[in-house]
Amino acid sequence: MTIAVYEATAAVSMLLTIVYMFIWHKHCDVHITLTFVFVPLVNVAYVLLYRSKTLEAALNAVKIMYLGGCFLILILTLIVFSLCHIYLNRWVRVSMLIASTLAYCAVLTIGHSPLFYSEVSFEVVNGIGVLHKTYGPAHTAVFAMISCYYAMSIGAMGYACFRKKQVSNRLIYLLFLPVGLALVTYYAGRFFSMDTELLPFAYTIAQVLYLIIIARINLYDITDTAIDSLVESGDEGIISFDQNYRYLGSNGTAKAVFPQLRSLKVDHDISRSLFAKETMLKWLLDYQQDASQNYALYEKDGKTYRVQISDLYNHKRKRGYQFIVKDDTKNQQYIHLLNTFNSQLQTEVAQKTAHIVEMHDNLIMSLATMVESRDNSTGGHIRRTSEGVRLLIDEMTKDPNTGISDSFRKNIIKAAPMHDLGKIAVDDVILRKPGRFTPEEFEKMKSHAAEGARIVHEVLKATDDLEFHLLAENVAHYHHERWDGSGYPEGLKGEKIPLEARIMAIADVYDALVSKRVYKDSMSFSQADQIITEGMGKHFDPMLKPYYDAARPKLEAYYSALEQP
């Protein structure tokens, strides 16, 4: 084969490298890039060898050729592992590089030591330089190393083909061709006496195959294709900053949304720009303090942009921050419309609920009034006791130590009119009796407490307000219990009596004392106060005395106003 064929092969190899330079992408595997650097160099070395006129020139060409044998085969192996998504431990890769370096150091001894070539001679035959050599021990070691690399490559491709579902089999088949071709030509040149060296052609064909592989792997790399599509489509802006809040760059879409970026100089602190300081720097600081604050809304020219904030990584290492800017106008308009609708709906629901609650309260009050109308001795009792409860609970809420909640206050005031609902089950003869009850009649009268609890339970069992339901039952059931346990219907003692019933008891007895009944005249306020005070610790909860004392002037004022014509 003439030298012209090797020169043409070297020229094609260089042309393919130029093509690679035009299609090169920053995400291309660095090992593939090295392949396109080494292959033309090795092919040129073959041309230099065959054009050599002296032994020294031939040996120098051989030393360049073995860059392929020592390093190019290593690079091909690393390409295989990378594209097959098989991770090699860092120390394994370092060890492989050391082995290749030591092998090449042995190559450099050619002409000076019998380590690699034990004997060497040179002649020119028909204008072509021919090198005659006898292999030394280092060549055997290099041969073993190269064989190991080939075995590793074939093993990795076989493993990926059958076990790696996320690696394309088509890609593996393409990957096998350059490896297989280099393998066949390498061993053919070593074991068979051939006048033509085939490796330059194998390396050049490998370049063609790698160009095809590059086109495929760029499609398989979802991260890279997504980034490229994102940048090229122009739909979303990208802005980057380092960890010290220095501006790194942005694409055209981001500059259209933030024209102020055009005046920012790369590597300058964004705090130098008043606009960036009040917007971007503030967003970054908020994000740094709380990672959940990972977006901001920016309005401009009637549009709303969503600025998504995230960490910027380079090879799994955090290097700074990144903004993804997207027109979010339609989504924000929808959210605003939805919020407006929800607000209106909540208002309407609140109005309807308030109306239902009002109807419910009126129903309860009507029921209590109906029961009261059957008792000719207690006219206006429910209205007066309700006011008495309100005055007592208001004094209690002034003391933060009581722990009285606003809901408890509202519920006990609303429940007070229901305390005597059980009287609806008491016979009219007893209920409307103008005088005092006999012991038998009083026993029947006492049944109104338990009966009242049952009625309240039935009336309120469908309500969602469980707190009010329980409180109203307790008021009806236990407002005749006494602190010393002498009350009815269950004889509860002390704090076993619910607080709401203890409060109701004071208001109920106070009204009975200062109000006129068919069987008695009304007592004076001082007499009533004396009875209530003496009852503290016996009839009433002694801890309620301070609140009763505070409410007493208002109670007297209220009842005094009722007596006026």
In Å, how far from its chain's centre is CA 303? 27
- Share in percent of the chain as helix, strand, coil (round to 5): 65, 10, 20
Residue 220 pLDDT: 47
Least confident span in 94-103, 120-129, 144-153, 502-511: 120-129
Domains 3-225 and 348-563 in one fold: no
The residue-averaged pLDDT of 463-467 equals 82
The residue-averaged pLDDT of 49-67 equals 88
For 438-452, give the DSSP string: PHHHHHHHHTHHHHH
Residue 318, pLDDT above cutoff 80:
yes
- Delimit the domains of the chain by residue range: 3-225, 234-327, 348-563
Residue 363 pLDDT: 64
The residue-averaged pLDDT of 15-20 equals 90
Superfamily of segment(s) 234-327: PAS domain (3.30.450.20)
Question: Which residue has better confidence, 377 or 222?
Answer: 377
Residue 565 pLDDT: 47
Residue 333 pLDDT: 79
Q: Is domain 348-563 given the CATH code 1.10.3720.10 in the classification?
A: no
For 185-227, give the DSSP string: HHHHHHHS--SS--HHHHHHHHHHHHHHHHHHHHHH-HHHHHH
Residue 219 pLDDT: 47
The closest of 45, 68, 247 to 146, measured between CA atoms, is: 68
The closest of 125, 115, 112 to 49, measured between CA atoms, is: 125
Question: Which residue has better confidence, 339 or 13?
Answer: 13
Helix extents (H) in 426-497: 428-431, 439-446, 448-460, 466-478
Least confident span in 128-132, 242-246, 501-505, 529-533: 128-132
Residue 316, pLDDT above cutoff 80:
no
For domain 3-225, give its CATH number from 1.10.10, 1.10.3470, 1.10.287, 1.20.1070. 1.20.1070
Q: In whole angstroms, what is the distance from residue 147 CA to residue 323 CA?
A: 49
DSSP-derived letter for residue 71 is I
Average pLDDT, the chain: 83
pLDDT tens profile 296-307: 998 888 888 999
Q: In whole angstroms, what is the distance from residue 370 CA to residue 457 CA?
A: 18
The residue-averaged pLDDT of 418-440 equals 77
From residue 255, give the alpha-carbon distance in Å to each of 152, 240, 246, 291: 49, 12, 16, 25
